[in-house]
Amino acid sequence: MANGEHMSEMMTVREVARLLHVHPNTLRRWSKNGRLKAYGITARGDRRFKREEIARFIAELSEAKDSVGSLR
């Protein structure tokens, strides 16, 4: 797999923040605390998130929301 193809499977902090409707700093905190796995891509500390892991995270949030709703 070429490097460009691999990077297309990754999302930026800004992209994920918009998708999840959270502030980018929230994502940074979640990755620091281990809630979401981020991949450092530069010495500066830029982060990327795998699309498949974000999809899984969203599915888990949805399941948790559904289970809480069913308790009511």
Per residue of the chain (72 residues), give pLDDT as tens.
445 555 579 999 999 999 999 999 999 999 999 999 999 999 998 999 999 999 999 999 888 877 766 555
Amino acid 4: pLDDT? 54
Q: Give the domain extent around 58.
A: 3-70
Predicted local distance difference test score (pLDDT) of residue 1 = 43
CATH number, domain with residue 63:
1.10.1660.10
CA distance 10 to 16: 10
What's the structural domain count of the chain?
1
Q: Confirm if 13 and 47 have CB atoms less than 8 A apart.
A: yes
pLDDT at position 5, please?
52
Token output for 28: 């940074």
- pLDDT for residue 39: 95
- Reported as half-sphere exposure (CB side, CA atoms, 13 A), residue 37 has a value of 7
